[in-house]
Amino acid sequence: MRAPILISIFFLFSCQKTPKENIYHPPIDNNLNQNILYLDIDVDEAMLKFQKLIDQKYRKNQNIFESDLRVMPANISKYIDCGKMNDEIYVDYINRIFDSSLNIQTLIKLDLTGNKSTRVEISANYVFTSIETGTSWRFNTNNPKLILVGNPAYGAEPYRKCLSKNLIESKLIEEIAEFNK
């Protein structure tokens, strides 16, 4: 009588899938964002056009416009790419397990390069934080960051990589390029 039960239990456990271990997949490097452009207008004219383009969230300090943006956890993966944990977007995984935040500081810098030419550089500084662990990734436009995580799974890659999706920078470049038309 015991043999059929033991055989049944054996078959039951042998058919179960083995648990999947956490596997991290780093983001695929995107091409560098073209975050510098040249305008065929002088700095003063560029400043006037920027005043119309830039909303009240930007602060002006000489030839630099600066803005801070705090992104809600549900939207973090729209702005940055930190790869995947198994089949889940890593920033969503971090938010689900530890809660997270993303702060973005955007800078637009204007420099006179000639009599009627202005160099415009747009960059953003990102701080992605795992709130519970306090781990932060600090990176900026065209400069991804590798960080050593505190407790990776046994045998797992201990580094995580984060980079910008250049959403803010690209949108601003498109709008500013219109100044030349």
Mean pLDDT over residues 128-155, rounded?
Answer: 86
CA distance 159 to 149: 6
Q: Per-residue pLDDT tens for 1-40?
A: 555 554 454 444 445 444 457 788 899 876 678 899 999 9
Per-residue pLDDT band at 152 (split at 50, 70, 90) = confident
Percent of the chain with pLDDT over 90: 38
Domain boundary assignment for the chain: 35-180
Is 0.85 surpassed by the pTM of this model?
no
pLDDT digits (tens, 9 = 90+) for 93-141: 999 999 999 999 999 998 888 788 899 999 999 999 999 988 889 999 9
Neighbour order of strands in the sheet with 80-81? 80-81, 159-164, 145-148
* Band of residue 91 on the pLDDT scale cut at 50, 70, 90: very high
- The H or E element that residue 36 is part of is strand 36-39
Give me the half-sphere count of Cα atoms (radius 13 Å) on the Cβ side of residue 42: 3
Distance from chain centroid for Cα 113:
31
3-state secondary structure at position 96: helix
Contact 128, 81 (CB under 8 A): no
List C-alpha distances in Å: 181 to 116, 170, 175, 176, 177.
14, 18, 11, 10, 8
pLDDT in tens, 67-77: 988 888 889 99
